[in-house]
Amino acid sequence: MEEDKKYELEEFIEAMKPRKARHTELITVFVPAGFDINLITKQLESEKSTCANIKSTTTRKNVKEALESLIRVAKQMKQTPPNGVAMFAGNVFKDGQEEFIQEIYEPPEPLNIRLYRCDQNFVIDPLEEM
């Protein structure tokens, strides 16, 4: 891996690590290299209908908003980038404030994992392993 790409990856990981939510409302999606992006869009749309079952109104609204933002991104992509893509969205809680963030990251090496997770933290382990 090129030195500047490695540094960029480390910076990204360090920026993502401390980001947490009050509830399980942060969405992480890993799309492996060569995977059909349309299948990811369909999966996210199906998760959006599932999130209607979330009891907490605020959490439900935040999860839906995060899913919708990732669906928009996935629909804009004609195909998965050469090394795959890592997508993150949700309301992070920092210094008593909530802030909606969305990060789309194309890794410097091929991603070989497909993942969808809705949690209090973003999943960054596959990136750390690079």
CA atoms within 13 A of residue 123's CA, in its CB half-sphere: 16
Query: Are 86 and 28 a contacting pair, CB within 8 Å?
Result: yes
Residue 1 has pLDDT above 70, yes or no: no
Query: Are 62 and 114 a contacting pair, CB within 8 Å?
Result: no
Residue whose tokens read 């795959």: 84
C-alpha to C-alpha distance for 88 and 51, rounded to whole angstroms: 17
Residue 4 has pLDDT above 90, yes or no: no
Q: Which two tokens stand for residue 94?
A: 């920092």
C-alpha to C-alpha distance for 45 and 92, rounded to whole angstroms: 22
Residue whose tokens read 């392993």: 129
**What is the pLDDT averaged over residues 111-115?**
94
Q: What is the pLDDT of residue 58?
A: 92
For the stretch 44-71, pLDDT in tens is: 999 999 998 999 999 999 999 999 999 9
For the stretch 68-86, pLDDT in tens is: 999 999 999 989 999 999 9
